[in-house]
A and B are shown apart, each in its own frame.
Chain A
Amino acid sequence: MSGLASAGRGDPNGPLVTRPTDAAADDTRAAIAAGRRPRRWGAWYVALHRFRVMKSYTGTVVVAGIGNPLVYLYALGVGLATIVDANVDDQAVGGVSYLVFVAPALLASAAITVSSEEFTYPIMLGYKWNPTFTGMSASPLRPTQIVDGIVISVAIRMLVNLVLFFALIVLFGAAPSAIAALMVVAGLLGGLAFGTVLMAYTSTLEEDTGQLAMVMRFVVLPMTLFSGTFFPLSVFPVWLQWIGWVSPLWHSTELARVFSYGYGEPIWLTVVHVAYLVVLAAAGWVWARRIAVRRLGR
C-alpha cells in the first residue's frame, strides 16, 4: 500500500506497519521521530496549558490563598478559641491550645477546597462545555497524559496555597513542632486523594444536572464537619465515626496534627493515614485515566 492513508475491511490481525514506498517511508520515519517528545513530555504540556489558564485568575488564587487562611485562623483560632480555651480543659483537644489544634485541620480543608474547585467545573468544561480535551486528543497527546497534566497542574497550585497557609500558621505562632512544615505534605496528600476521585467522578458525567452542586453540599460540606476538623472525632458515638474513617480529610487532618504539634497517636495509625491517602489518590488517578481513554476514544 503506497497510499498516505488507507482504510479497509481486511484482516484485523494484519501487519502493524504496511510496507511503504521510499517517499512514504520518509513520512513514516518523520512521524516516528516527531512522536518522541510528546510521548515523553505530553503531561507537562497540558500542565503548562492549565497554568496559562490559571494565570487569568492568579489574583483570585493569591487573594483566596492568603485571605482565607487569615479569616479562618482569626475567626476560629483566635475568636472561637477564646471561648473554647476558657471553658474547656485543654486535654479535650489533646493538650494544646485550640488555635494549634484547629490550624492543621484548616490547612487540610484548604486543600480540599482547591480540589473541589479544580476537579469539578474545569473537568466538565474540558469534556463538554468547551471541549478542550477533545482538541488536545486530536494532537499527539494521549488521554492519559491529559489527565496527568491536569493532576500535576492542580497539585502545584495546591502546593502554592498550602505553603501560603503554612506560612500564616507560623505567623500566628500555631506550629510548634520542628517538622511542622510536613503539614503541607499531609494537606497535599489529602487534597489529591479526594481530588483524583472527584475528577474521575466528574469525568463520568455526560451532563451536569446538579450533581456537582450536590457533591459540594452533601459530600464536601459534611466531610468538613465530620472529619475531626473543629473537634476530635472521638466526640461522636462510634456509629458516626466511620464518616471520619472513610474521609480523606480526617486522615490528612490527623496526619497534619502529628507533624504540627506531635499529636499523640500510635505510629501504626500514622502509617494508615499515609497509606489510605496514597491508595485513594492512586485509585482515583487510575480511574480518571481509564474514563478519559474511553470517553475521548469514542
Chain B
Amino acid sequence: MKRYGGFAAVDGISFEVAPGESFGLLGPNGAGKSTTMRMVGAVSTRTAGDLSILGLDPDAYGPEIRSQLGVVPQADNLDTELRVRENLLVYGRYFGLPGRLVAKRADELLAFAQLEDKGKAKVDSLSGGMKRRLTIARALINDPRVLLLDEPTTGLDPQARHILWDRLFRLKEQGTTLLLTTHYMDEAEQLCDRLVVVDKGAIMAEGSPAELIRRYSSREVLEVRFGSDRNSEVAARLEGIGDRMEVLPDRILVYSRDGEAELVKITEAGLHPITSLVRRSSLEDVFLRLTGRTLIE
C-alpha cells in the first residue's frame, strides 16, 4: 500500500513471484504499476503492508536487496555526461564489484545489447531503442537475480521492440526472474508466464495469459464496424448474437467460440457491416471485460 497525501496510489496489490518466473503487471497508465515497481525495487517506502524480497524487508535491507536487482526504469536515466561504456563502468562500481570484473562484463553486455561499436559514443547520439538496450545492459551489470522492467518498450518503434523482446526472452531462458509492467498486450503475452491485471491501484485478475483469456473472454472475437454514428443503434438489434458484446465508439466486439458463424447470423439478419474481422481473443479483451475500458486511451 502506498499513499501520497490522501491519495492511495497502490492499495491491495498482493502477489508472489517464484525464482525464474516471468511475472507481469498489466494495466493502464496511472494504475499503480510504477509505484509497485519502485516498492519492489526497495526504493519507494510503503505506507502499509508486507513486502519481502529475497526473504528480506526493504526497510531494513535496502542495499542488500538492491544488490540483487537489475532495474530498468520507465524513463531512461543514463548519465548523458558520460560515454556509453562509462555508464556501465560507473554503475557496476555502485555494487562494489571489482573494476576488472565490471570492465569485462561491460564489454559482454555491450555485445549482448548489440552496442559493441558504440562504446565510446555519447549517450545522446543513441536512438531510443539503443538507449533502452543500454539501460537494460546497465541493469544487468551486477548479474541480478531479478530484473525489474517498467514499461520496457513504451515509445519504441516495432523493430526496436522486437529486438528488445528477443534480448529479454534470452534472459528468461537463462533463468533470470523477470518482473515487468506493460500496457501492451502483445508484450505481456510474449514475455509473461503469469500476470496480474491492475487497475486503480488494485488487482483485478491473476493468471497466465492463456488462463485469463479462457476465464474472461471467448475463443474468438468478431469485430464489426457500422460507422461511428450507427454502432450503438445497430448494437441493440444484435441482441442474442454471440456470448457477449462490447460496444466501443468505433466498433462492436462480439465474443463467441466461432466468429465466422456469428458474422453469418448478422448478415442473415439483414445488417451489413462496413468492415468485419475475426480474431483470437487477447488480453486486451480481458482488460476490457474486467474494467469496461480499453488499455490505451
Contact = CB atoms under 8 A, between A and B. Distances in A.
- A and B part of one assembly: yes
Interface of A: 1-12, 14, 16-18, 20, 23-25, 27-28, 30-32, 34-39, 41-42, 45-46, 48-49, 52-53, 56, 130-132, 134-142, 296-298
Question: Interface centre among A24, A27, A140, A141, by most B CB within 10 Å?
Answer: A140
B280 interface: no
A193 to B, nearest CB: 27
A5 B21 CA distance: 11
A11 to B, nearest CB: 7
A124 B78 CA distance: 15
A12 B54 contact: no
B245 to A, nearest CB: 36
Given A34-B96, A45-B96, A4 B49 contact: no
A45 B21 CA distance: 32
B49 A138 contact: no
9 contacts: A8-B14, A9-B50, A34-B67, A34-B96, A48-B90, A52-B86, A139-B94, A141-B94, A297-B45
B49 to A, nearest CB: 5
Contacts of B60: 16
Contacts of A3: 16-18, 52
B50 A35 contact: no
Contacts of A142: 62-63
A4 to B, nearest CB: 5
A92 to B, nearest CB: 47
Contacts of A41: 96
Given A34-B67, A45-B93, A135 B77 contact: yes
Given A5-B52, A17-B55, A39-B63, A130 B18 contact: no
A137 B45 CA distance: 12
A118 to B, nearest CB: 13
Nearest to A136: B94
B261 interface: no
B64 A42 contact: no
Contacts of A27: 19, 54-55, 68, 145
Interface string B42-84: 0111001111111111001111111111010101011111100
Contacts of B283: none
A185 B142 CA distance: 39
A138 B68 CA distance: 11
A34 B54 CA distance: 13
A135 B68 CA distance: 15
Interface of B: 1, 4, 12-19, 21, 36, 38-41, 43-45, 48-57, 60-69, 71, 73, 75, 77-82, 86, 90-91, 93-96, 138, 142, 145-146, 177, 179
B49 A38 contact: no
B52 A18 contact: yes
Nearest to B68: A31
A4 B14 contact: no
B50 A11 contact: yes
B14 A140 contact: no
A24 B96 CA distance: 23
B61 A4 contact: no
B64 A140 contact: yes
Given A12-B48, A138-B73, A5 B54 contact: yes
B61 A9 contact: no
A42 B62 CA distance: 13
Contacts of B81: 53, 56, 130
Contacts of A17: 52, 55-57
B118 to A, nearest CB: 18
**10 closest A-B pairs by CB:** A37-B96, A35-B64, A3-B16, A34-B67, A139-B94, A138-B71, A140-B63, A135-B77, A28-B55, A20-B55
Nearest to A137: B43
Contact of A9 (B14, B17, B43): B14
Given A6-B15, A9-B14, A140 B41 contact: no
B53 A5 contact: yes
Given A53-B79, A138-B73, A298-B44, A31 B67 contact: yes
A134 B55 contact: no
A278 to B, nearest CB: 29
A128 to B, nearest CB: 11
Contacts of B16: 1, 3-7
